[in-house]
Amino acid sequence: MPVRFSITRKCPQTSARIGMLETAHGTILTPAFLPVGTQGTVKAITVGELEDMGTGLILSNCYHLFLRPGIEIIARHGGLHRFMNWNGAILTDSGGFQIFSLGGLRRLDDEGVTFTSHFDGATHFLTPERVTRLQNMLGSDIAMVLDQCPPYPAERKEVRSAVVRTTKWARRCKEAHLHDNQALYAIVQGGVYADLRRESAVELTEMDFDGYAIGGLSVGEPKELMYESLQITVPLLPNDKIHYLMGVGSPDALLKGVRLGIDIFDCVLPTRIARNGRVMTSKGYLPIRNSVYSTDLSPLDEECSCPVCSNYSRAYIRHLLNTGEILGLRLTTQHNLYYLDRLMKEIRKAISENRFEEYYREVSPQLTKMYGGVA
Amino acid sequence: MPVRFSITRKCPQTSARIGMLETAHGTILTPAFLPVGTQGTVKAITVGELEDMGTGLILSNCYHLFLRPGIEIIARHGGLHRFMNWNGAILTDSGGFQIFSLGGLRRLDDEGVTFTSHFDGATHFLTPERVTRLQNMLGSDIAMVLDQCPPYPAERKEVRSAVVRTTKWARRCKEAHLHDNQALYAIVQGGVYADLRRESAVELTEMDFDGYAIGGLSVGEPKELMYESLQITVPLLPNDKIHYLMGVGSPDALLKGVRLGIDIFDCVLPTRIARNGRVMTSKGYLPIRNSVYSTDLSPLDEECSCPVCSNYSRAYIRHLLNTGEILGLRLTTQHNLYYLDRLMKEIRKAISENRFEEYYREVSPQLTKMYGGVA
């Protein structure tokens, strides 16, 4: 069955909306946050734990899997779902961001990109067609076009060149795409330049993709600039198609993004900071490794009812992290994902009950205060 | 309720027996293998996964917990079970082995032992009384006496001195022990010297401990020497009390140990080698990180029905381990523990069905061939 996105309710005062994303691997309620499973696993977590949490959609990365273990062996398992034993939905990123940010870029032109693997130095050549075919082989529910993602800051000239190339490549991805059950989403570029964002959005909208992502944000630019770019870009996307903000996961940014019309987000933030001992709570970040928690019998977050907070104390989790115990990484990761999942649930509930604007006015200042620093 | 051990059936031809160890935290069927949770967690595994596996008893280490996070904070949680959220039984080792093997030993006499922490260099003084009280505070179901464990090889003079001191300390531990629900087991020393083993066993038996462990083996001596020492020592222990072989976990040694009358074993082997990419299978060790498994779609062990083997391929697990993914460590650890658990189940079944000798004759050569190298 083809992937289908539909809007179930719109906020009358803002651009927020709730929707349903139907895939061959289940239905996801939006707005939703996608845990990141770059290498075919959401770090430290089992697929069973994701399922128990109610996660419906995760992100994995075609570029990384292409390098290790290779797409061929995954295809021989019957695709990425079977490889990783995950029965929910998967969105694969093409790797555009990684190719351009992880170094090793050798040659770049309209034909494709030649780069060296940051693992073993081997040289690879990827084209929009190849990246599309590789994602077909992975069998993810949603594939992304190969895009050119410029860094921040970048000269306008470079950003425009990336917009032009991204449009050309998007067209070629669409032509190469052959998979009934897999959607293909385009990625709007343009940096922080309003007119370039407009150019990219208009050109990609004309090609009638299944969904639209906004790339090239949360790459080091000030948050205000990101929100400005969103405010310009989202209205230019087809309203009835899904809107995906890539690489954003800070709670304050999630809420602001929803208000501006974003349906799905992905980010390594909750899982990465968890492994570094930074826990998300109803009172902001908790640096759990700090000695002040060594005798704290309370849960990570008093307002959280996740399995971690229901069963373990701060003192225990701190002990685990400070003694290098793997269980510590599992527990903090699990909690942070539950935290974001609960946030998204609350957001959906507010929209569904026609009180999103009220919810936003109450909660956004708190989240901005607690999380509004650098993402 | 006090801890109670009873023998339910004896093998007519050998010293093997099946038994029941009843504790306030459940009943354990013996012979049994105890996963090691040194710092209050069995590395990489949750207590839920241990429970699903049917694990009834795990080992934790008083010495390590004393250093980090400290016994006081654990006691404030209500004891070690509550600290780590484990509702099964716990046996705590006193730390005798660690104090004498981890270095930092400053002063040793009949009074006690002064050592420096191998973590932060702080100096600590432990006596038999203190170690016993600390284990009382932990609230483990079974506590061990503070013993002096000599290395291998060691001069006879040193080994004898350790036997004498261990006896003195054991007496003091028993006098200091005040905990109705907690058993106290003695540890027989004597190295590989038959007469010293005899001396130690006789003196400790006279003191009527709840159970008897054999320490100071599997510390580098040739396996044959270990079996010889077992053959001498076990018959000297009270037949109706539990027999515990410390630090042994190699499948061939488990089976041989059962035949010689051992009821419980503990060892870091299955969990440690798992994290190093060495998996136990029905065909011996599988070095899963090897490139030959990169395209292997079969499970770790075709004959295993654990959750790992039911859901994941060798290729996937290899990919996880080689890319540093935590899930890889979880899966190999879980499988190795299931492997040993299944072995112990088979052993108990053979004894229960009066065919242990037959089972031993068939299986022991295979296990010795596959696992009989260095433990």
B244 neighbors B262 (Cβ within 8 angstroms): yes
Q: Among residues 33-72 of chain A, which lie with CB inside 8 Å of chain B?
A: 39-41, 43-46, 68-69
Does residue A113 belong to the interface with chain B, where contact is any CB pair within 8 Å? no
pLDDT averaged over chain A?
95
**What is the tens place of the pLDDT at every residue in B98-154?**
888 876 777 889 999 998 888 888 999 999 999 999 999 999 999 999 999 988 889
Which pLDDT belongs to residue A248? 96
Tens digit of pLDDT for each residue in A204-220?
A: 999 999 999 999 999 88
CB contact A320 to B (< 8 Å): yes
Res. A374: pLDDT tops 60:
no
Selected for mutation to probe chain A from B36, B41, B82 (highest A CB count within 10 Å) is B41
In the stretch 283-302 of chain A, residues with CB closer than 8 A to chain B read 294-295, 297
Summarised one tens digit per residue, pLDDT across range B280-302 is: 999 999 999 999 999 999 999 99
Stretch A343-372: mean pLDDT? 97
Kindly determine whether residue B323 and residue A39, on different chains, have CB atoms separated by under 8 Å.
yes
Quote the distance between the C-alpha of residue A177 and its chain's center.
22
Please tell me the predicted confidence (pLDDT) of residue B374: 57
**What ipTM score was computed for the predicted complex, to two decimals?**
0.94
How many beta-carbon pairs under 8 angstroms link A with B? Answer: 92
Give the one of A68, A73, A85 whose C-beta lies nearest to B311's C-beta: A85
Residue B85 and residue A312: Cβ atoms within 8 Å? yes
- The verdict on a CB contact (< 8 Å) between B43 and A83 is no
Which residues in chain B have their CB less than 8 angstroms from residue A320's CB?
A: 39-41
B117 lies within 8 A of chain A by CB = no
Identity at A54, one-letter amino acid code: G
pLDDT digits (tens, 9 = 90+) for A12-57: 999 999 999 999 999 999 999 999 999 999 999 999 999 999 999 9
Following CA atoms A220, A226, A229, A230 in sequence, which dihedral angle do they give, to the nearest 10 degrees? 130
Q: Is B330 on the interface with A (CB under 8 A)?
A: yes
CA distances from A305 to A83, A313, A339, B19 (A): 31, 13, 9, 40
Q: Best mutation site among B323, B329, B335 for testing chain A: the one with the most A CBs within 10 Å?
A: B323
A78 touches chain B (CB under 8 A): no
Q: What is the CA radius of gyration of chain B?
A: 20
* Percent of chain A surpassing pLDDT 90: 88
Q: Whose CA is closest to A252, among A272, A274, A232, A224?
A: A224
Chosen for mutation from A67, A82, A325 (greatest number of chain B CBs closer than 10 Å) is A325
Q: How far apart are CA A118 and CA A126, in angstroms?
A: 15
Contacts of A123 (CB under 8 A, 6+ apart): A106, A114, A115, A116, A117
Which residues of A are marked as active site? 93, 266
Pairing of strands A89-93, A142-144: parallel
What does residue B117 show for φ and ψ, rounded to 5 degrees? -60, 135
Higher pLDDT, A189 or B96: A189
pLDDT score for A375: 46
pLDDT of B351? 98
Contacts of B318 in chain A (CB under 8 A): 69
Q: Residue A96 has what pLDDT?
A: 85
**Structure confidence by residue, pLDDT tens digits, A221-280:** 889 999 999 999 999 999 999 999 999 999 999 999 999 999 999 999 999 999 999 999
Q: State the virtual CA torsion across B195, B201, B203, B206 in degrees, nearest 10.
A: -140
Q: How far is CA A366 from the centre of its chain?
A: 23
Shortest alpha-carbon distance between residue B148 and chain A (Å): 26
Question: Shortest CB distance from B43 goes to which of A39, A76, A326?
Answer: A326
Per-residue pLDDT of chain B (375 residues; tens, 9 = 90+): 789 999 999 999 999 999 999 999 999 999 999 999 999 999 999 999 999 999 999 999 999 999 999 999 999 999 999 999 999 999 999 988 888 887 677 788 999 999 888 888 899 999 999 999 999 999 999 999 999 998 888 999 999 999 999 999 999 999 999 878 999 999 999 999 999 999 999 999 999 999 999 999 998 888 999 999 999 999 999 999 999 999 999 999 999 999 999 999 999 999 999 999 999 999 999 999 999 999 999 999 999 999 999 999 999 999 999 999 999 999 999 999 999 999 999 999 999 999 999 999 999 999 999 999 754
Residue A179 has pLDDT above 90, yes or no: no
Two tokens, residue A341: 């999942």
Residue A44, pLDDT score:
96
- Tokens standing for residue A106: 């050798």
Write out pLDDT tens, residues A59-106.
Answer: 999 999 999 999 999 999 999 999 999 999 999 999 888 888 876 777
Residue B343 CA, distance from chain mean position:
15
Q: DSSP E strands: which ranges in chain B?
A: 4-10, 17-23, 26-30, 32-34, 57-61, 89-93, 105-108, 113-116, 123-126, 142-144, 183-188, 211-214, 242-245, 264-266, 278-281, 284-287
pLDDT at B375: 46
Q: Do A46 and B76 touch (CB under 8 A)?
A: no
With beta carbons under 8 A apart, name residues in chain A contacting B69: 294, 315, 318-319, 322
